[in-house]
Amino acid sequence: MNKYKRVLLKLSGESLMGEKQYGIDENRLRDYALQIREIACMGIQVGIVIGGGNIFRGLSGTSRGFDRVKGDQMGMLATVINSLALSSALTGEGVANQVFTAARMEPIGRFYSKWDAIAAMTKGEIAIIAGGTGNPFFTTDTAAALRGVEIEADVMLKGTRVDGIYTADPEKDPSATKFDKISYDEIYNRGLKVMDLTATTLCRENNLPIIVFDMDTVGNLKKVLSGENIGTLVF
């Protein structure tokens, strides 16, 4: 028996770059598609939210003179590009899927509603939910938390390039130690940058647990959902 029936998978836009400096690495994209196919074959219902930082990040655009609202809207469109790329990769691997968008842009994607996304997942399709929340000033982590709560996911899986949550940045501090489990309160008290506070608070208030794990290591997604002790559980 699978521990989780329905999950919300949050993917980093930067991770899609793979070995490139910008854009989408086709090999990384295919790796992700194959991992997602594995868990779909386990009978797990999957919703996905992808960031857009490999193409454009709204907040960083303000430092270059972009209006914040327009910059965030550009970032939302970047997530749509990534979502379409993942949709294409999944289709290529024989995985049925639908792209939903937070703002109307048919025929590129179907306008998102909780009920339509759940209906798609119930039929065995992957629901790729693009466009962030559809509003400026919110990150895609917050969008993932919101969609996870809306689609009644059992857990939010935050796929990153790090294998969990540490006491400090392990890339900068070799003495940093990893948590197997950590509470929302301890994240607040320690000031750990797992997600932005809005996303973390939304998960906490709605009792949505988070597992932070290394998505870039092929096979890890299935291991997490098979109950193997990798990554860090936030509860």
6-234: CATH superfamily: Acetylglutamate kinase-like (3.40.1160.10)
Give the pLDDT score at 115: 98
d(C-alpha 153, C-alpha 144), whole Å: 11
Sequence spans of domains, the chain: 6-234
89, 113, 87: which is closest to 99 by C-alpha? 87
Give the pLDDT score at 30: 98
Chain segment 153-206, per-residue pLDDT in tens? 999 999 998 899 999 988 889 899 999 999 999 999 999 989 999 999 999 999
Give the pLDDT score at 42: 96
Give the pLDDT score at 1: 64
Angle between helices 140-150 and 114-122 (to 10 degrees): 70
pTM given for the model = 0.94
Q: Which residues of the chain have pLDDT under 50?
A: none
